[in-house]
Amino acid sequence: MIQFLFFFTFSIAALAIAAYTDLKERVVKDEITYSMAAVGLLGHLIATILQADVGPFLTCIAATIAAFAFSLLLYKLGVWAGGDVKLFTGIAALNPVNASILARLGAMPAEMFGAIEIPVFFLTLFIFSIFAMLPYGIFLALRRLSRNREHGKKLIRQVWLFAIGLAAIGIAGIAGTALGMAWLAGLLSLAAGTWLLYFLLRLYGMSAILMRKAIRITELKEGEIVAETIVETAQGIERQPEMGVKNLIKHFAVNKMEKAIKQPREIVSSRKARGATQQEIEELKRLVM
């Protein structure tokens, strides 16, 4: 119990410091993330020695390696920045398993929130972090949407056209309720849930446009994520369209597989969560000004 409480307390303190430095300096220092990983590995090694059980250290090693590999994949895909990889790995080293501190302290029922002795806590943390950020993301998108009448009307039109089709299902559900057919009445709930999911998906697809802000290249700052990927080709400096599913299908349809796979030299990318580096900004200014 003491070791779990120590790792939990250290994690909260380290994350609080990391959040403070991130807000103040827009970067989480390596000293914080490296110390988290070091304390986690060393602490579980000490626990292994004191308990004469190799389990704690092996579990810590497995969780740390798995979390690093998972984070590195997200980094390669441009979803995370380098600091996110190190921070997530440090958390996994400190908390390889879900020790369920609140359940151990009696604040939650152990039957429902008991400890899980499998080194996959980092995946649980990742999934719940996404759900935790959803309301804030929806709030930001709706706020921007309220200031953009053109896209607001477009979204309303798309949602209402979809809602017309679901209305028929809703009417069938009401009729089913009146007739005592529970399976038909369930269609009403299904229609409402489907409509909400469709609305959120449309809002998510539009958020990439709503969150954009037009600025001059001279105003671009380090760490800001550019809206377009800029590449250098034989023809000069070009804006590269996002290589989504539609563009891939288009390339394949006209037998341009080489273009779909081969990428020109990238100057600055919109797909990297770390944003633009100072070196990329300077090169961009030099090439286009």
Q: Where are the domains of the chain?
A: 2-127, 148-210, 217-288
269 or 43: which carries more pLDDT confidence? 43
For the cut 80, the answer to whether the pLDDT of residue 23 exceeds it is yes
State the sign of the Cα–Cα–Cα–Cα dihedral 33, 36, 41, 42.
positive
216 or 112: which carries more pLDDT confidence? 216
Mean pLDDT, the chain, integer: 75
| % of the chain at pLDDT higher than 70 | 63
- List the one residue out of 31, 28, 67 whose CA is nearest residue 223: 28
- Predicted local distance difference test score (pLDDT) of residue 45: 94
Largest distance between two CA atoms of the chain: 73
What is the SS3 string spanning 181-236?
A: CHHHHHHHHHHHHHHHHHHHHHHHHHHHHHCCCCCCHHHCCCCCCCCCEEEEECCE
8 A C-beta contact, residue 11 and residue 36: yes
For the cut 60, the answer to whether the pLDDT of residue 217 exceeds it is yes
The per-residue pLDDT for range 135-177, each reduced to its tens digit, is 777 777 777 777 777 766 766 666 666 666 666 656 655 655 5
Helix pair angle (55-76, 30-51), 10° resolution: 150
Task: For residues 221 and 274, give the distance between their C-alpha atoms in angstroms, rounded to a whole number.
Answer: 12
For the cut 90, the answer to whether the pLDDT of residue 48 exceeds it is yes
Region of poorest pLDDT, from 15-19, 73-77, 84-88:
73-77
- Predicted local distance difference test score (pLDDT) of residue 142: 73
Tell me the mean pLDDT in the region 212-228: 75
Kindly indicate the confidence band of residue 231, based on its pLDDT and cuts at 50, 70 and 90. Answer: confident
Tell me the mean pLDDT in the region 251-262: 50
Kindly indicate the confidence band of residue 215, based on its pLDDT and cuts at 50, 70 and 90. Answer: confident
Region of poorest pLDDT, from 83-92, 117-126, 148-157, 275-284:
148-157
Q: Which residues contact 28 (CB under 8 A, 6 or more apart)?
A: 18, 21, 22, 83, 86, 87
The number of beta carbons lying within 10 Å of the beta carbon of residue 33 is 23
Kindly indicate the confidence band of residue 245, based on its pLDDT and cuts at 50, 70 and 90. Answer: very low
Tell me the mean pLDDT in the region 233-254: 60
Kindly indicate the confidence band of residue 118, based on its pLDDT and cuts at 50, 70 and 90. Answer: confident
Amino acid type, 70: F
* Tokens describing residue 29: 């220092």
Tell me the mean pLDDT in the region 15-43: 90
The number of beta carbons lying within 10 Å of the beta carbon of residue 119 is 22
Tell me the mean pLDDT in the region 206-229: 74
3-state DSSP assignment of residue 125: helix
Task: For residues 158 and 173, give the distance between their C-alpha atoms in angstroms, rounded to a whole number.
Answer: 23
